[in-house]
Chains A and B, each alone.
Chain A
Amino acid sequence: MSGEDTIEVAGGTPETAQPFKELGLTEDEYQKIRDILGRRPTAAELALYSVMWSEHCSYKSSKVHLRNLAPTADQSQYLLAGIGANAGVVDIGQGYAVTFKIESHNHPSFVEPHQGAATGIGGIVRDILAMGARPIAVMDALRFGPADAHDTARVLPGVVSGISFYGNCLGLPNIGGELAFDASYAGNPLVNALCVGLMRHDDLKAAVATGLGNKVILFGSRTGPDGVGGASVLASATFGDDGGKSAKRPSVQVGDPFMEKLLVECCLELYAADLVEGIQDLGAAGVACATTELAAGGDGGMFVDMDAIPLRDPNLTPAEILMSESQERMMAVVKPKRVDAFLAICRKWDVEATVIGEVTGDGLLTMTWRGGTVVKIPPQTAADGPVYQRPYARPDTLDALQVAGPEGLHRPADGAALRDTLLRLLGSPGLADKRWVTQQYDSLVRGNTVLAMPEDGGLLRVAEETGLGIALATDGNGRYCTLDPYQGTQLMLAEAYRNVAMTGAVPVAVTNCLNFGSPEDPAVMWQLAEAIRGLADGCKHLGIPVTGGNVSLYNQTGATAIHPTPVIGVLGVHEDVRRRPGAGFTVDGAQVVLLGTTRDEFGGSAWADVVHQHLGGRPPAVDLDAERKLASLVVAAATEGLLASAHDLSDGGLAIALAEACLRGGRGVVVSLHGDQFTELFSESAGRAVVSVIPGREVEFGALAEEHDVPATVLGVAFGDTLTVGDTFQIPLPELERVWIGTLPAIFG
């Protein structure tokens, strides 16, 4: 018996002062723990509750609103597992299922960009692995302060190298994502990582500890002192004015992708041999979270012998062992007679595996350490956590912001000014060529990548024999969401939906990463509630379910919050990836057609931002029926083989879409635009796309567009080596390319 704080000691010393505030718990929460246990918690229990009840793990501020997303799942025939599991699972046909999820690693990536971003990839990959799936690709949605800001030069290259290092070493293709810059992210960059995994229907695994006497096995890396309290102290608090860089560094984990690769292959072999009853990844809150969730998800209890946990540092206390976020660890529940076979496979992959406990029948989570009992709790009380109905209120500044629209901004009038505007937008960091980033990512490994960045969506082949595939896109726009979080979120849902459809895939499911400021600010809470309401309504309207997601709050430095930034990921099913149109003009003489309706909509636009540094007015209107019609037209046309290319219109409008299609396909275009040239070129009206039609199939395509009730305007023809807009202006492709590719290398070297 050591001097450790056991339940007996705790029972006899109710008055002992405990550092609950330092661990991020409030007075009320601390009292609630005492009420649950009928005594003060031990030091280990306090650590466990503090991480489990952190905003990051418990969703205590967002839960009441997230409930609105659940009904979207009821309407789907595709869903095999939904919200609440580690990640949603979607049936894609032919016996295959796909699981995907996007998660934030914002706070660690600001403190230590390389490791923070690297372990963000590692964490989301283990989430997918824990569902029983083989991870098959990743994506990254990144947002930074202004590209030329001093600190962006520290954060961006570090984040990109971290994602590159970890994802490349894991052998997962990076098939897309986003890169955006805005001053609101200067002190709180957003690093959202998505992973998608593939399995057969029967392979689905559950995070439950069932079966009395079954063994609990911890495997992977040893537990060390890194990332202690990452979920509570780091990810669930705002940064102080010093940026918190120095004080919070020990809360950032260190990643070893080689170990993760071994863990992935090891797990897949364990699954194939049917040796696993339940499995859970160790991410935020480490052993505390894995044991609590496995026990809470099961029908009995769990006993853990903490002395059996392999440590990198023998001086760790039970509290530190529970809170450590050491990477590359998994926990499995295994039938006793299968333990030897389990350990043999771990040995084959050089993965350390240790039996640390077993499933019990008493309904409690019990842990012993050096002879004493240091944890004895009802696991459900830690897993569920508190639920807060935080006050929320529409920001009183919003009316003024919405009134100050872009109408008064000076607009380019003549051809030369329009030409300059196009080049200025194309060369702006947010719209410029992203190769500086994507050249550091392996998009090819595993040999099934059909489309990747800079295409509208990533497209992966799933079945070589049939051509079955999946498409994925993520979209976010904090500027739109600042002007109207409800509408802005629906616009992002619509954009990701549209991007997936551009590959020829049918959108079937949604994931989301909700990045917001402090939930203790009623204005931020209102943004969050509105965004979730917008997403729920949008998904209901489109008939696709939200299968899971992640909430990242406290993206705020001092009193300044980031733009509300929900990042929406949409998954699509592709019947035959060989019939995918790319975004680029690749066929000479192909008719170029604009689909959708253009209105005078510049609120929150790239033009207002880049040219006027203006944010005000209303974001573009949302018409989800029109989005659905557009998507089904493009999918039908791609299936019929009518399309040479398809590219969605978003930031920068038609002008940027045409420039991108020219640069991607290495071919020019000649278009003539009716109506106001500026509006036609730069408006960001939603629900639009530009396609080029296989020569000879124009009539068929026109009829199909009519059948789908999608407005189709013939703009011109793809050919030559200039981007020509009627008599208004002409830009040679080499000039276009120079402007486009030069920006990021000039800034980042």
Chain B
Amino acid sequence: MRIGVVTFPGSLDDTDAARAVRYAGAEPVSLWHSDRDLRGVDAVVLPGGFSYGDYLRCGAIARFSPVMGELIPAARAGLPVLGICNGFQILCEAHLLPGALTRNAGLRFIHADVRLAVTDARTPWTAGYSAGQVLNVPVKNGEGAFVADEATLDELERTGRVVVRYADGAPNGSARDIAGICNAEGNVVGLMPHPEHAIDPLTGPSADGLGFFTSIVAAFAGAGLGARA
């Protein structure tokens, strides 16, 4: 399986995302922001960082980059996409996911290990987990508070599209302790915590995050990728 990792100017966790893809047994493929080309990959990770310096708003400029011009219709057509941190912000700016990420409550950058409850294990990115499983994964961001109007939040919860939740309460003021969500089809997942930094206890708090990457590899090996269970 070939999984693309997009590098925007200011992407920082792209090498980490590529390493996680490799640990999961897939081939990471580097995608460049100004290329209108997805190079035939089977899935895409939008990594963390400060694309375009977070100018204007986090993700607001990246969303208009040439590679996103290819990615947005492909995601709408079912291509699995995982947005981590800045990648989640970009997915929201691109309207592939609802809501927005705003400044942390407390107004400071927060880096901490958090307990993350998997609430939707049906997406191709989380199918390897069991619902209710708790992961130990780091967050690190300045603008990680998920916000949306009440109707959207209700809709997300009613349709089971909250993928991961902060098990001990959101450290950043996220609405309803939401840490990650997916689109209606389940192929596009965005989350603020960094599963790619929890793939090996040597360099992270655990290996719990590797499941996001092994899940997509398993989903690809099986059938029905892109179709929601």
A residues near B (Cβ < 8 Å) are 161, 164-165, 168-171, 256-259, 261-262, 349-350, 438-450, 461, 577-578
- Residue numbers in A under 8 Å from B55 (CB-CB): 258
| B9 interface residue per 8 A CB criterion | yes
How far apart are A220's CB and chain B's nearest CB, in angstroms?
14
Contacts of A439 in B (CB 8 A): 108-112
CA distance A156 to B122 in the complex (A): 46
Q: Are A449 and B52 in contact (CB under 8 A)?
A: no
Tell me the complex Cα distance, A170–B197, Å: 17
Taking a contact as CB atoms under 8 Å apart, the answer to whether A261 and B202 are in contact is no
Q: How many A-B pairs fall under 8 Å by CB? A: 84
Task: State whether the Cβ of B159 lies closer than 8 Å to any Cβ in chain A.
Answer: no
B116–chain A nearest beta-carbon distance, Å: 15
B36-57, CB under 8 A of A: which get 1 and which 0? 0000000000001110111100
A446 and B203 alpha carbons, distance in the complex (Å): 10
Distance A350 CA – B138 CA, assembled complex (angstroms): 32
Q: Which residues of A contact B197 (CB under 8 A)?
A: 444-445, 447
Q: Which residues of A contact B15 (CB under 8 A)?
A: 446-447
| Distance between Cα atoms of A663 and B202 in the complex (Å) | 20
Interface flags, B152-168, vs A, CB<8A=1, else 0? 00000000000000000
Judge whether B63 is part of the interface by a CB distance below 8 angstroms.
no
Contacts of B53 in A (CB 8 A): 169, 256-259
Q: Which residues of B lie under 8 Å from residue A577 when comparing CB positions?
A: 202
**Residue B2 lies at the interface, judged by CB distance under 8 Å to chain A:** no
Residue on B nearest A446 in the bound complex, by CB = B15
Contact call B9/A349, Cβ cutoff below 8 A: yes
Nearest CB in chain B to that of A444: its residue: B197
Give the interface centre of A165, A442, A449, A577 by most chain B CB atoms within 10 Å: A442
B111:A169 contact, CB within 8 angstroms: no
Interface residues of B in 174-229 (CB under 8 A from A): 194, 196-197, 202-204
- A447–B10 CB distance below 8 A: no
**B108: which of A161, A257, A261, A445 is its contact (CB, 8 Å)?**
A161
Cross-chain contact A444 with B138 (CB below 8 angstroms): yes
- Is the CB–CB distance between B9 and A258 below 8 Å? yes
- When the two chains form their complex, are residues B111 and A442 in contact, meaning their CB atoms are under 8 A apart? yes
Q: Would you call A258 and B16 a contact (CB within 8 A)?
A: no
Q: Which of A168, A349, A441, A448 contacts B203 (CB 8 A)?
A: A448
| Chain A residues whose C-beta falls within 8 Å of the C-beta of B50 in the assembled complex | 168-169, 257-258, 261
Asked if B140 CB lies within 8 Å of chain A CBs, one says yes
Are A444 and B204 closer than 8 Å at their CB atoms? yes
Contact of A445 among B10, B12, B109 (CB under 8 A): B12
Give the shortest distance, in Å, between B166 (CB) and chain A (any CB): 15
**Residues of chain B lying within 8 A (CB to CB) of residue A171:** 12-13, 49
Determine whether the beta carbon of B202 is less than 8 Å from that of A578: yes
| B103: interface (CB < 8 Å) | no
Do residues B202 and A444 form an inter-chain contact, with CB atoms below 8 A? no
B55's closest neighbor in chain A, by CB? A258
Residue of B nearest to A261 (CB): B10
Q: Is the CB of A440 within 8 A of B202?
A: no
Provide the bound-state CA to CA distance between A438 and B202, in Å. 19
Residues of A within 8 A of B10 (CB): 169, 258, 261-262
**Can you name 7 extra interface pairs (CB under 8 A) apart from A259-B53, A439-B111, A447-B197?**
A439-B108, A444-B140, A445-B16, A447-B15, A447-B16, A447-B19, A577-B202
Q: From A580, which residue of chain B is reached at the shortest CB distance? A: B202
Instruction: Please measure, in the bound complex, the distance between the C-alpha atom of A165 and the C-alpha atom of B142, giving whole angstroms.
Output: 9
Query: What residues on B are CB-neighbors of A170 within 8 Å?
Result: 12
Query: Size class of B's contact patch?
Result: 20 to 34
Q: Is the CB of A440 within 8 A of B109?
A: yes
CB distance from B11 to the nearest CB of A (A): 8
Known contacts A261-B10, A350-B9; is-contact A164 B109 (Cβ 8 Å) = yes
Closest to B140 in A: A442
* B1-39 interface (Cβ within 8 A of A): 9-10, 12-13, 15-16, 19
Expressed in whole angstroms, the minimum distance between the Cβ of A465 and any Cβ of chain B is 13
Which of A258, A262, A438, A578 has the most CB atoms of chain B within a 10 A radius of its CB? Answer: A258
The docked-state distance in angstroms from the alpha carbon of A594 to that of B12 is: 42
Q: Output the nearest chain B residue to A161 by Cβ-Cβ distance.
A: B108
Interface pairs (18), CB distance under 8 Å: A164-B108, A164-B109, A168-B142, A171-B13, A256-B53, A258-B52, A258-B54, A439-B109, A441-B109, A441-B111, A444-B111, A444-B204, A445-B12, A445-B140, A447-B197, A447-B203, A461-B202, A461-B203
Q: Which 4 A-B pairs have the closest CB atoms?
A: A258-B53, A171-B12, A447-B16, A444-B197
Q: How far is the CA of A258 from the CA of B62 in the complex (A)?
A: 14
Complex Cα distance A578/B203, Å? 10
Distance, CA A447 to CA B202, complexed state (A): 10
Q: A442-B111, A447-B197 are in contact. Are A261 and B9 (CB under 8 A)?
A: yes
Q: Which residues of B contact A262 (CB under 8 A)?
A: 9-10
Bound complex: CA A501 to CA B140 (Å): 29
| Minimal Cβ-Cβ distance residue in A for B113 | A444
**Once the chains bind, are B111 and A443 in contact (CB under 8 Å)?**
yes
Which residues of B are found within 8 Å of A259, using beta-carbon distances?
Answer: 53
**A444 to B206 CA separation, bound complex (whole angstroms):** 13
CA distance A671 to B110 in the complex (A): 36
For B106, the closest partner residue in chain A by CB is A749
Interface flags, B108-147, vs A, CB<8A=1, else 0:
1111100000000000000000000000001010100000
Given A169-B53, A445-B13, is A440 in contact with B19 using a C-beta cutoff of 8 Å?
Answer: no
In the assembled complex, the CB of A436 is this many whole angstroms from the nearest CB of chain B, namely 9
Which B residue's beta carbon lies closest to that of A351? B9
CA distance A578 to B201 in the complex (A): 10
Provide the residues of chain B in CB contact with A440, threshold 8 Å: 108-111
In whole angstroms, what is the CA distance A440 to B140 when docked?
8
For B54, list chain A residues within 8 Å (CB): 169, 258
B204 to chain A, nearest CB (A): 7
A257 to B55, CA, bound (A): 12
Q: Give the CA-CA distance A439 to B108 in the complex, in Å.
A: 9
B142 contacts across to A, CB distance below 8 A: 168
Q: Contact string, B94-113, partner A, CB cutoff 8 A, digits 1/0?
A: 00000000000000111110
CA distance A256 to B9 in the complex (A): 13
Chain A, residue nearest B9 (CB): A262
Max count, chain B CB within 10 A of own CB: residue among A170, A171, A262, A350: A171
In whole Å, how far is B124's beta carbon from the nearest beta carbon of chain A?
Answer: 24
Check B9–A444 contact: CB distance below 8 A: no
List of A residues within 8 angstroms of B111 by Cβ? 438-444
Task: Check if B112 sits within 8 Å of A444, measured CB to CB.
Answer: no
Alpha-carbon distance between A461 and B204 when the two chains are bound, in angstroms: 12
